[in-house]
Amino acid sequence: DTIRYLAKRLKERTEILKEKAIDPYATSPEVTPPVTPILRKDDYIRLKEEERVAKEEAEKKKAEEAAKKAEEKKKKDEEKRLEAEKKAEEERLAEEAKRKERILPEISCSCFDVLFHPVEEKMDVFLGTTIDPFTDRRYISWLSFVALAYNYNVWFCSARLAFPYHGETANRYWIFLDILSDIVNVIDIVVWQPRLQFVKAGDIIKDRALTKVHYRKSQRFKTDIISILPFDLLCLYFEFSSLYRLNRFIRIDSFFEFSDRLESVMAKAYIWRVARTTGYLLYMLHLNACAYYVASVHQGLATTTWVYDGNGTAYLRCYYFAVRSLINIGGLPEPVTTFEISFQMANFFIGVFVFSSLIGQMRDVIGAATAAQTYFRASMDGCVAYMNTYTIPKLVQNRVRTWYNYTWAAQGMLDESELLDKMPLVMRIAIAVDVNLATFQKIALFQGCDQQMLVDMLLRLKSIIYLPGDFVVKKGDIGKEMYIIKSGAVQVVGGPNNSIVFVTLKAGSVFGEISLLQSAKDGGNRRTANVKAHGFANLFVLEKKDLFDILVHYPESEKVLARKGRKLIKAKGAVPAKGNEEKQKGLALFGPKPPTPKLLRAFANLKKLKVNVMWGSVFCCRLFKSIDG
């Protein structure tokens, strides 16, 4: 019974194990953990990769959410800070406006608007409703008259106030000039200033009504109104004097505006800066001459050796004294009274301070004007010193000097990129498009490409100057660039000693563009001709690396260039690639076997001779033995 029971159990167990072998998911008789599904290797790797990607995406999403929350918090904090600053600024401006209103209350010009309305309408025909104060040459020309009127007031009013230049004959001329200068100021305030455009929140305001309101609410308008108040009418009740015109002096902003606008349009602004600084110097001498004459009158003319003696032209003599006094030339008469000593000491102190300041300013102006020339000289001197240190041949040194001199004379700088890099991208694009876009559009290789791609290519161009006789490219060189002739000419040459000129390319021509698209495999981008500069030649260069960096962002243009490149290469008869030739096989790859040296051949022949003699002797011995037998 026991044996039968064991046999039954074994049969049941065998059946269960058979089922498990057929069905891998069947359970075994023992209590075991659940069986993991069996996967193929590729499925398992893909499953693990999906799990890893899902985990990374979850972590990335979590990090992005955290960064977004932090950014939102930072943005809210920044908005709160800006709002607080804006509120504080508004409170400050409001307080400042209240303070100004207490000093200069708002001026109502309703009656003047009605009075001058016909004049404004007529001027709109000539000037337009608004004017750009920075670029409109008409406004800059008008400012020259305003500056002239201001200089008339500050120079002649002070001279008339100090020197006895008023009389029955001269007064009529002074009145005419005063009225003329006042008319210029009135026209500027009524006609020109209300038309000036201004910027508000980044927008250029061109509305006439808004520009007029903006000017009349400004501090300058109130200053201008005060400067033209006709205090001259007091001369009808009092003595005629230029003292009543001193309020014209406060309109100094008009002179500084003229100076700034003139500098912005001049090609050589340092000329005006030198002239302006010289004018400051002369005006200080003018004021000192006026003060010296007043002091002489106060002391009494010709009462001492120091004061003006009353002989000759008063202004010229006093100006001469001012020059010698302020510049500390010496040789002046000794002051006698305490007043004279004090006046002369003040003159010396003021002269030292003022003239040192003006001389320093003049030095800065001249230094700024010649900064580029100084940089050029320093660069050239450094290069010459380097060549002398390493004993470079004189011929090479002369060519280097010629390159420096011509480059500086042609473009005023050694590297144009230094200037362009300081400009914003929009300005650089505008300059590049204006200079070279038309030339690029004429190149057959680039016709049909994206216009923006051409603009990006223009920004990668580099300017290079070649001396007469310099080879731009040589036959057999690796082609890595294309060239655009900016100025000058180049020649395609060949023959013995490159004496034959095949063609001359002038400004606007392009060469080397095919090499940008040819592959370096099997020498497909080798130069096929010699090109040298005929005279001085300024070329723009586009490198292959820059082109490929640009084409990454323009796949459609890349396809167009590839297709056109193949056509142009085929049309120009490109050199067939070596890979198309029939390949050699076997030992032919190693070439013909080299001949055996004569000495080795002699030893080999001697060895063969010995072997032949040995075999001959053996044969003879066997022959004799057979005969004896």
Neighbours of 274 (CB within 10 A): 15
Topology (CATH) of 266-370 = Helix Hairpins (1.10.287)
Supply 115's token pair: 């009075």
Token pair recorded at residue 502? 């095949």
SS3 536: strand
C-alpha 61/C-alpha 476 separation (Å) is 56
Cα 561–chain centre separation: 30
Residues 170-211: tens digit of each pLDDT: 999 999 999 999 999 999 998 899 899 988 877 888 888 888
Q: Where residue 123 falls among pLDDT bands split at 50, 70, 90?
A: confident
Look at residue 590 in the predicted model and tell me its pLDDT.
Answer: 42
For residue 438, which of 507, 491, 514, 505 has the smallest C-alpha distance?
Answer: 507
What does the alpha-carbon distance between residue 397 and residue 382 come to, in Å, rounded to a whole number? 12
CB atoms within 10 A of CB 242: 21
Please tell me the distance from the alpha carbon of residue 322 to that of residue 287, in angstroms, as a whole number.
Answer: 9
User: Picking from 5-14, 268-277, 338-347, 595-604, which range would have the lowest pLDDT averaged per residue?
Assistant: 595-604
- Residue 490 is predicted with a pLDDT of 92
Q: Is the predicted pLDDT of residue 261 greater than 70, yes or no?
A: yes
**Within its chain, how far is the Cα of 539 from the centroid?**
20
Distance separating alpha carbons of residues 58 and 180, to the nearest angstrom: 81
Region of poorest pLDDT, from 480-484, 512-516, 607-611: 607-611
Angle at 513 between CA 565 and CA 480, to 5 degrees: 105
Length of the chain: 629
Residue 510: other Cβ atoms inside 10 A: 19
Distance CA 526, CA 510 (A): 17
* Residue-by-residue DSSP string for 436-502: IIHHHHH-GGGTTS-HHHHHHHHHT-EEEEE-TT-EEE-TT-B--EEEEEEEEEEEEEESGGG-EEE
Burial class (CB in 10 A: 0-12, 13-18, 19+), 393: exposed
CATH fold of 417-573 reads Jelly Rolls (2.60.120)
Distance CA 104, CA 386 (A): 67
Name the range with the highest mean pLDDT among 46-55, 438-447, 468-477. 468-477
Q: And the tokens for 611? A: 């072997």
| Share of residues in the chain with pLDDT > 70 (%) | 82
Count how many Cα atoms sit within 13 Å of the Cα of residue 412 in the half-sphere of its side chain. 7
Q: What is the dihedral of CA 314, 317, 323, 324, to 10 degrees?
A: -140
Taking each helix axis as running N to C, give the angle between helix 314-326 and helix 269-299, from 0 to 180 degrees, rounded to the nearest 10. 110
Cα-based angle 176, 178, 179 (whole degrees, multiple of 5):
65
Q: Residue 530: enclosing H or E segment and its boundaries?
A: strand 530-543
Considering the chain, what is the average pLDDT of its residues? 80
**What is the Cα–Cα distance from 95 to 102, expressed in whole angstroms?**
11
Domain boundaries of the chain, sorted by first residue: 1-22+47-100, 128-264, 266-370, 417-573
Query: Which band of pLDDT confidence, cut at 50, 70 and 90, is reported for residue 507?
Result: confident
